[in-house]
Structure 1
């Protein structure tokens, strides 16, 4: 039935009506009966598990009653750590000690038997040897029943383990002695048969005696017969893979047979191994070992098929691959008790085996260089088919959750059935198969893409390599732009599969969820990113000239921009990805030719400006506004790149080209000011303005090694900053502009050889004092330090530092006069900053002038006079301490009273 079609009015088989109250009531009754059947089946299974647990406890040692163990004197508290010491000081329990003794004793017995077999074997005759080994082995294997009846379960397990080890020693000893001509049998073949018999015997022995240890021992020993038998037959890698996969298949078959009775509610495996917990542990371990063994065989088979040197070897590799396919399909469709993920994984392994088998066969049919397509084509077909089934079965329509009682399940034929709403619901086995096939095929297709990634990347960056040599000032040789067809076919297959998956996902989700579905968005975005290089590299594979390929990329980018302008609200992100990808490739490819750079960057600058203008003028969602901001910023940066390319093409040096970049930055600031006045375009104007600032920084960097050009660039940038400060919301730009102008003057003074600090600080002083005075007059309450502190400290502190190394009298005189003027102004206006800065500098100037005299006087006085003077000064201060403190407080209050 086609997707989306209404449900039929009657059943296609029995012709019963499917609508009306009677049909609905019948569906409800059927669901309740299904729930009752499921509940009864669970109760029967639980009954069997409890009965098996009680039967196991029948042969186990008697347990201490809970009432006697809780709170009883001398017993350890419940839930305590096994490693902690109890009240009597014991650090481990009696069962732990018993287990340790049994393990050590069993190992010692096996070692003793090994030494006896290898070292002391020659001291006995053939009869004595056989008698000793058979007697010991028989005793070890006969003791477990007796020990179990005496409730020595652990000892019975240890005795069984010793007996199984002695069986292998018996086999070794028999061959060494040449019993029955066994010494003439090949080593690998003999041990293959012996390990197979021992594995089967251990499993049967443990099942018969109700022992836990022999079952896993036999299961693990069953890994060896296949490998040893293959070695005995002189097999190759494919034969080893077949043996390993066959062993895994036997493992799952035996596991299925053992657990079938428990699934049906009959006593069997769980009772034999000692209860539900032990059975679950053994089943989980067997699944893990069997699955790992199957994966190992799959890796061997895949590797052998991929590197097979001839078609005959490929045919031999199909044997393990086919066996792996059958095993994976059986696990997915036959083992209904497996979790969904494991069943899907089994189907995925089967799909991988099928893809490798087909690809290995096509390798000798396809032309040279098309081997990867032989693997990619079946992977793409299977991925598309699995995606179609997932969509039709409703797997993508809603998340996989636990089904209610009335939901459809596997029928007798495994077909899909209808749910309460009449939609098609996939059975669990088919749903798991579809998911496994989709994941496995998609992964294989992705791996083929990784294989051809290097060739695709080389084709994408080939013009860029030529462009680096061209723009670096060298003389690049002739170059060719080529791409093989096979890698492009793989890329097209990937894009087609993504398109199918994206379309199916969009059809299955509801209209209300289509814009919020993450998987649909991810598929559309991946499709867009894959389709762009697939389309743009097609002219390269066809051998078209460089200009045609570049023109195709430019046209595709402009077309994507026009589509975004025409439909700004429909699936914006995939179209923006297409626009970004096509534009990036066109810009990169244009670097191989100077004229192409000028044409492409100019075209894209105009396109981005139009895109920003149109998108910012619409009442669109935030994503569209973000795209408008990005387009505006890119337009400015593209014009800057155009300026750099124009200067380089004209042969201009970098510090001259910088002024073209600076002109674009100034124009961007002006455009941002104009756009800021238009309602709704403030964010775009901010992006344009930020891009202009970036270009201004680049221009200054280009002139950094040429002081003349740097001074002029700083001056132009400073004037532009003052112009930007005319905007009411950019008043602080005046500080940046003033700083740039001052820096420009510094560079110019340095070029003129001026070293006096006053020449550098006086422009800052003037600007700072003017700005501080305007701030103080326009903002009442502004203190003198924020207003005049920087303006006063900027000239005086550097001049003061230079004064101490200057022997001339002019600088101290001028600095003292300026400090005196500042001090008088501070006193008259009652401002702290002029008074403190001026007074402090004035005192330091006075000390500088008095320093030579003081040094001369101190040189004439005896050395004890300064010490005596200091002591007298301290005494004087101590005598008049209170009075001096009051005077200091009055001075402090006076200064604090100033603003």
Structure 2
């Protein structure tokens, strides 16, 4: 079909091919970007028109076809109705199955088979226990054997008829009847079975049942008998231990041995190459059933092993002698063996499962070694006996992870990542050993915390009581050894990670390990002289010097490993500051020293060339701490000099003032504005603390507020701190209020006039700088601060002076509002003036109303309403003009 030549977009004249530069008829340009865009739009519109014409044609064709089949029967299927078409879903179209069927046929079949099987087994149990007493031994055996044989023989013909679910149910009933046969045989004394022990008999019976159920299911290609055999196999080991009268370690051994048998069986069936796996699939009828069986065996066996391991661990931890420890080694060794084999032999298992198996083996080994060491070490060293093997294994595992220049990273390769053989073992060992070491650290944590905080506890008595008791600073050796082991493991892991990481300085794990190493190594080092009975002063000096040494190193080399060195310095400094409270002279020396070192550190780290975020954050913290330390120094100096608290407050206030001046100076240095802000903010906190210390003494409080207010006005001289004037003014006003309260002044104007003056001045400056500011924002709060409290006092004041002065003030404000056309002065002044007038007229009105008859007010009110009604339109118009006039003011 020959396509039509395009026409001119304006006049429609055919243009030919190729089109000319402009239309020959109307002269419309046909080149350039606009013409190109116009051609695109025209092409899309033509395509839409073509598509619409085809849809209209198709609609008519389909409608004609449906009309031709109007009288024919229609069968609606689920796929015949398009999804999402309105009207069809509400009519119930497109649903599979007949309406009203809420249970599918397979579900109904399963429920029926389960209920039927349970009822048959219950009936057999009732028959066995209750109702067969009238039968002889032959009759009993014949009935039970016949029922069992029928139940076990039915699955094969049922499977041939493709009744697989019924066959599974029949097989399970047959296995249940086997157990009833065993019970009946023993109750009847068949072959002298009643003379056997109960536990021993049932152990043998459950072993035979488990093996027979597994073999029967494998032979008949059934799934449920295999599950019955797996679950029944849980019992023989426990029953044998019960028959032999074993202890907790024997039960743990039985549980772990049962799990080991499960894993060996599973390995024999699925891990011998493709033949074994294919055989399982064929026997169970598909890949899904085989996967369910494998997962079930793993879950049941793993759970049994974990329960046995938990019992063994608890028994070994609670053992106090070799006679109790040695038997506990048997289940622990078996658990370790099972975990190692499970991790290293089942290489097709998920990575996490293999890690968990190796971790369980490591836990068993740690507990076994730790329980043995506890028996040969002195009292109190039991936790260290568990920490030592955990530390050794953790370091060994870390070396295995770092071997080859890399740690374990689960990165996909060609869509499937299979870790190397030793990787899962190394990760499991590292995780379990680290967790065990962490638990030992938690156990000794109370002793470590007590040793670290003992000087501070003594300091509380020193500073608040004044008569402290003698104290002895010591720490046990065993908790300190555990802390040293923890720090050593972290140091080794940090070194290995830094060596193997491609970029150690930017590696998050390496940095975290270094920081954790610093946090644990600092108290381990500083508590060592305490354990060696070094005097308190020397220990405090060691902590202070150690922190200062790290600060000096940071000042000399600000870049390398900055975070870890800062963490070490902060840890040592925090301990030194905490320990210094045990002596007043030590507080003055240590806090002053750290204030100076923090100021130097803030100065160095806030240099413009230090662009690292950690350096900037550390500079801000150091600057704030320097001010805080000076504040503590001020308080300690005042208490040491026996100054009262309100006297000490002014020393703290002086520190706050100095910090504000230092912040102003630092703000002028490029790049140090953030440090200056931190210093300034900490100074404000100290000022608030100083004012709080003077609250019980009003004279000192008034002076402190005045000094703070003047300082606030001084801060407001900075261009970037203009708003500090508000705070300074507020503090000065508060100071005047305190002074007035001390003088016994109760007139509200004495308190409100300073606020009004300050607010009006600030509002006037605001309107001057920003002419679009409204009068309410500028003057409303200031006028109301004095007039409304004075108006409230007027109604309770019998004197004529306050109403007169308030009325004059309100009149002046109203006149100013009218002259300046400002809404806030007009409304506030007018309202107060009216209220003052009402106050003055109130006695006269009351007196007049008392002289007039009672009907006069009612009549006056009625006449007033009539007058208002007669002049309604005029009054409304006048009210509108008044509203517009007032609304036009600002």
Q: Distance between the aligned counterparts of 2:829 and 2:761, measured in 1?
A: 18
Matched, 1:761 2:771: no
Q: Distance between the aligned counterparts of 2:675 and 2:817, measured in 1?
A: 48
2:539 to 541, 545, 549: 549
Give the corresponding residue for 1:489.
Answer: 481
1:485-532: CA deviation from partner (whole Å, max 9, x where unpaired): 111111111111111111111111113xx3332211211111111111
1:780-827: CA deviation from partner (whole Å, max 9, x where unpaired): 444433333333222211111100011111111111121222223333
Give the corresponding residue for 2:409.
Answer: 399
Aligned partners of 2:204 and 2:236 also within 8 Å = yes
Q: Which has the higher contact order (CA 8 A, sep 6+)?
A: 1
Give the corresponding residue for 1:644.
Answer: 635
Matched, 1:817 2:804: no
Aligned partners of 1:332 and 1:344 also within 8 Å = yes
Give the corresponding residue for 1:882.
Answer: 873
Q: Distance between the aligned counterparts of 2:875 and 2:455, measured in 1?
A: 85
In the TM superposition, residue 86 of structure 1 has moved relative to its aligned partner by 4.2
Matched, 1:505 2:497: yes
Q: Distance between the aligned counterparts of 2:829 and 2:118, measured in 1?
A: 97
Q: Distance between the aligned counterparts of 1:788 and 1:774, measured in 2?
A: 11
Matched, 1:717 2:708: yes
In the TM superposition, residue 889 of structure 1 has moved relative to its aligned partner by 3.6
Pick closer, same or farther for the CA change 1:860–1:191 going to 2, 3 Å: same
Aligned partners of 1:629 and 1:687 also within 8 Å = yes
Give 3-state SS (helix, strand or coil) of 1:878's partner. Answer: helix
Give the corresponding residue for 2:593.
Answer: 603
1:374-410: CA deviation from partner (whole Å, max 9, x where unpaired): 21111111111111111113441x7222345999x8x
- Aligned pairs for 1:49-88 within 5 A: 86-87=97-98
Pick closer, same or farther for the CA change 1:450–1:882 going to 2, 3 Å: same
Pick closer, same or farther for the CA change 1:877–1:367 going to 2, 3 Å: same
Q: TM-score, normalised by structure 1?
A: 0.86
Pick closer, same or farther for the CA change 1:895–1:495 going to 2, 3 Å: same
Give the corresponding residue for 2:625.
Answer: 634
Q: Distance between the aligned counterparts of 1:485 and 1:118, measured in 2?
A: 66
2:111 to 100, 112, 115: 100
Give the corresponding residue for 2:280.
Answer: 269
In the TM superposition, residue 558 of structure 1 has moved relative to its aligned partner by 0.8
Q: Distance between the aligned counterparts of 2:849 and 2:842, measured in 1?
A: 10
Q: Distance between the aligned counterparts of 1:664 and 1:744, measured in 2?
A: 20
- Aligned pairs for 1:457-472 within 5 A: 457-472=449-464
Matched, 1:826 2:798: no
1:197 to 208, 212, 234: 208
Give 3-state SS (helix, strand or coil) of 1:452's partner. Answer: helix
2:300 to 289, 293, 296: 289
1:184 to 184, 188, 195: 195
Q: Distance between the aligned counterparts of 2:730 and 2:369, measured in 1?
A: 73
Q: Distance between the aligned counterparts of 2:157 and 2:824, measured in 1?
A: 106
- Aligned pairs for 1:544-623 within 5 A: 544-620=534-610, 621-623=612-614
Aligned partners of 2:487 and 2:521 also within 8 Å = yes
- Aligned pairs for 1:25-424 within 5 A: 86-87=97-98, 89-260=100-271, 263-264=274-275, 267-396=278-407, 399-404=409-414
Give the corresponding residue for 1:869.
Answer: 860
In the TM superposition, residue 305 of structure 1 has moved relative to its aligned partner by 1.5
In the TM superposition, residue 190 of structure 1 has moved relative to its aligned partner by 0.7
Matched, 1:858 2:849: yes
1:206-248: CA deviation from partner (whole Å, max 9, x where unpaired): 1111111100100010000000001111111111111111100
Aligned partners of 2:577 and 2:591 also within 8 Å = yes
2:791 to 775, 795, 800: 800
Aligned partners of 1:636 and 1:668 also within 8 Å = yes
In the TM superposition, residue 776 of structure 1 has moved relative to its aligned partner by 3.5
Q: Distance between the aligned counterparts of 2:106 and 2:826, measured in 1?
A: 92
1:156-202: CA deviation from partner (whole Å, max 9, x where unpaired): 11111111111111111111111111111111111111101100000
**Residues 747-756 or 569-578, more deviating:** 569-578
2:669 to 666, 671, 678: 678
Give 3-state SS (helix, strand or coil) of 1:364's partner. Answer: helix
Matched, 1:518 2:508: yes
2:526 to 536, 546, 549: 536
Q: Distance between the aligned counterparts of 1:273 and 1:298, measured in 2?
A: 32
**Residues 184-193 or 563-572, more deviating:** 563-572
1:534-585: CA deviation from partner (whole Å, max 9, x where unpaired): 1111111111111111111111111121122122222222112112211111
Superposed CA RMSD in Å reads 2.3
**Stretches of structure 2 lacking an aligned partner (at least 5 in a row):** 1-74, 82-87
Q: Distance between the aligned counterparts of 1:309 and 1:399, measured in 2?
A: 42
Aligned partners of 2:390 and 2:434 also within 8 Å = yes
Q: Distance between the aligned counterparts of 2:606 and 2:406, measured in 1?
A: 41
Paired residue total: 804
In the TM superposition, residue 313 of structure 1 has moved relative to its aligned partner by 2.4
**Residues 562-571 or 579-588, more deviating:** 562-571
Aligned partners of 2:406 and 2:501 also within 8 Å = no
Aligned partners of 2:608 and 2:670 also within 8 Å = no
**Stretches of structure 1 lacking an aligned partner (at least 5 in a row):** 1-66, 410-426
Q: Distance between the aligned counterparts of 1:153 and 1:405, measured in 2?
A: 38
Give 3-state SS (helix, strand or coil) of 1:267's partner. Answer: helix
Aligned partners of 1:676 and 1:685 also within 8 Å = yes
